[in-house]
């Protein structure tokens, strides 16, 4: 099922990004496709090349099973490609459908229940290149630097395994603490060369993970509540869409900035950070910049995001289209059992272990509109 639907959803997002970009798709030189939803050969990159009608010799990069930090990874790779291949225009696509994680509640794997309640479906696409063409290509966010690191003492904090039952996720309850404890070190390493140490002076594109993670990061860095507004909005509207999440947040921020008449796509600010984390614990830190001078002229500079497109699946896809894909329980049964399971978890386990879920998350994520129902007959 995901072999078909992941590239199709990616096509929707890519089509929007290409339209905004304003250049013919024949000028796309590289394609980066990222998904944690399944594995196939030829891959989703091949399928998307066919669906979009890209040139057969476009240079493709397929990234499977990276997890939630990969929204930063694709930007790091796109930056390297754009800056080291003159005239390159890189189409970046992250497409995630979480049906492969869907299964009935299990008393032995309560941590996977938290993941099921938070995960969502979505695809996002970007066009990345250096030296935007004046009057045609519009720089949105410059990619100044990008770094990846593994957090110390974090083995097993977030694990995912592709097995016969699908994709299983396992989360330790101290994930929020591990991230918040180490985030300032990553920020300091990224921004010290720029002389920036006030984290409230930045605009923030943070992978949401879950409410508990955002709360602890906000407290640790003493961020003003509005700093994570775009992140919390995307989490509330769509859930945790793994690699696609930070790209959705970029889109949310630039649209709200325009709506409010702010002077830059980054909430009126010049510098920002894109922060992603996932299995490992692996962390990606991307420094973003908005240069108003470069917007008015063609000039050499770092790789730039020139267009963004997003897409979410329709509310329901008739399961009869995929007769060989069997869910253990119906959507309505899942909704009831999930609520009962959550109730028992609160009675039996420490509050800290399950506080990543609040009532809004539970009610929204157990409905067919968001996570699992996007691919379950309703």
* pLDDT of residue 156 exceeding 50: yes
Tokens of 130: 């250096």
Whole-number Cα distances in Å, 297 to 6, 130, 132, 260, 317:
38, 13, 9, 25, 46
Specify the 3-state DSSP secondary structure of 232: helix
Tokens of 63: 């990234």
pLDDT digit string, tens, across residues 32-73: 999 988 777 898 999 999 999 999 999 999 999 888 889 999
Give the pLDDT confidence score for residue 329 in this predicted structure: 39
- Residues recorded for the chain: 378
Transcribe 37-100 into DSSP letters.
S---SS-HHHHHHHHHT--TT-EEEEEES--TTHHHHHHHHHHHHHHHSTT-EEEEEEEE-GGG
Whether 240 is catalytic? yes
Whether 207 is catalytic? yes
Q: Is the N-terminal amide bond of 281 cis, ω within 30° of 0?
A: yes
Question: H or E stretch including 304?
Answer: strand 304-311
Which letter, b or e, does each residue of 64-79 get, where b requires 16 or more Cβ atoms within 10 Å of its Cβ? bbbbbbbbbbbbbbbb
- Distance (Å, rounded) from C-alpha 252 to C-alpha 284? 20
Contact (CB, 8 A) for 297 and 131: no
Class of domain 141-300: alpha beta
- Which residues pair with residue 160 across a beta bridge? 169
Q: In what order do the strands lie in the sheet with 141-150?
A: 59-64, 30-35, 89-96, 122-129, 304-311, 141-150, 282-289, 271-278, 203-206
Tokens of 132: 């935007």
Residue 156 φ/ψ, nearest 5 degrees: 80, 0
Whole-number Cα distances in Å, 223 to 186, 189, 226, 232, 357:
16, 18, 8, 14, 22
Give the pLDDT confidence score for residue 134 in this predicted structure: 86
pLDDT digit string, tens, across residues 95-141: 998 777 666 666 666 656 666 667 788 999 999 999 899 889 999 99
Count of alpha carbons within 13 angstroms of residue 333, beta-carbon side: 10
Give the pLDDT confidence score for residue 102 in this predicted structure: 66
pLDDT digit string, tens, across residues 194-247: 999 999 999 999 998 888 889 999 999 999 999 999 999 998 888 889 899 999
pLDDT digit string, tens, across residues 313-368: 875 444 455 444 433 334 454 555 556 655 665 565 544 444 434 444 444 443 33
Set 68, 94, 245, 368: catalytic member: 68
What dihedral do alpha carbons 313, 314, 320, 321 form, nearest 10°?
-50
Set 240, 245, 368, 372: catalytic member: 240
Q: With a threshold of 0.75, does the pTM exceed it? A: yes
Contact (CB, 8 A) for 38 and 3: yes
Set 30, 207, 289, 334: catalytic member: 207
- Distance (Å, rounded) from C-alpha 342 to C-alpha 355? 11
Whether 84 is catalytic? no
The Cα angle at residue 373 between residues 351 and 338, in degrees rounded to 5: 30
């Amino acid at each position: 099922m995901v072999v078909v639907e992941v590239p199709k959803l990616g096509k929707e997002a890519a089509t929007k990004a290409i339209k905004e970009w304003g250049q013919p798709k024949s000028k796309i030189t590289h394609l980066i496709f990222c998904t944690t939803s399944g594995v196939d050969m030829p891959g989703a990159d091949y399928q998307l090349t066919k669906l979009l009608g890209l040139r057969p010799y476009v240079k493709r990069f397929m990234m499977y099973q990276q997890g939630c930090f990969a929204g930063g990874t694709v930007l790091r790779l796109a930056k390297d490609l754009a800056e080291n291949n003159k005239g390159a225009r890189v189409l970046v696509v992250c497409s995630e459908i979480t049906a492969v994680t869907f299964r009935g509640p299990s008393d032995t794997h309560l941590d996977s229940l938290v993941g099921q309640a938070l995960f969502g479906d979505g695809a996002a696409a970007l066009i990345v290149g250096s030296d935007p063409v004046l009057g045609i290509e519009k720089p949105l966010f410059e990619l100044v630097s990008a770094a990846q690191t593994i957090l110390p003492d974090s083995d097993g904090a977030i694990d995912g395994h592709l097995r016969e039952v699908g994709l299983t996720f396992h989360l330790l309850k101290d994930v929020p603490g591990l991230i918040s404890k180490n985030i300032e070190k990553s920020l300091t390493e990224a921004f010290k060369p720029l002389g920036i140490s006030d984290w409230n002076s930045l605009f923030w594109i943070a992978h949401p993970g879950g409410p508990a993670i955002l709360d602890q990061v906000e407290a640790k860095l003493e961020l003003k509540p509005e700093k994570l507004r775009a992140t919390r909005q995307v989490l509330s509207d769509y859930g945790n869409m793994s690699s696609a999440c930070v790209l959705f947040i970029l889109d949310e921020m630039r649209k709200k900035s325009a709506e409010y008449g702010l002077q830059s796509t980054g909430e009126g600010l010049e510098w920002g950070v894109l922060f992603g984390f996932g299995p490992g614990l692996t962390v990606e830190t991307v420094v973003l910049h908005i240069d108003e001078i470069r917007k008015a002229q063609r000039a050499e500079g770092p790789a730039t995001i020139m267009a963004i497109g997003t897409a979410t699946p329709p509310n329901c896809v008739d399961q009869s289209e995929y007769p060989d894909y069997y869910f253990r329980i119906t959507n309505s049964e899942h909704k009831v059992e999930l609520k009962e399971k959550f109730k028992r978890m609160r009675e039996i386990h420490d509050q800290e272990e399950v506080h990543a879920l609040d009532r809004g998350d539970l009610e929204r994520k157990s409905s067919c509109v968001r996570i699992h129902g996007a691919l379950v007959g309703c």
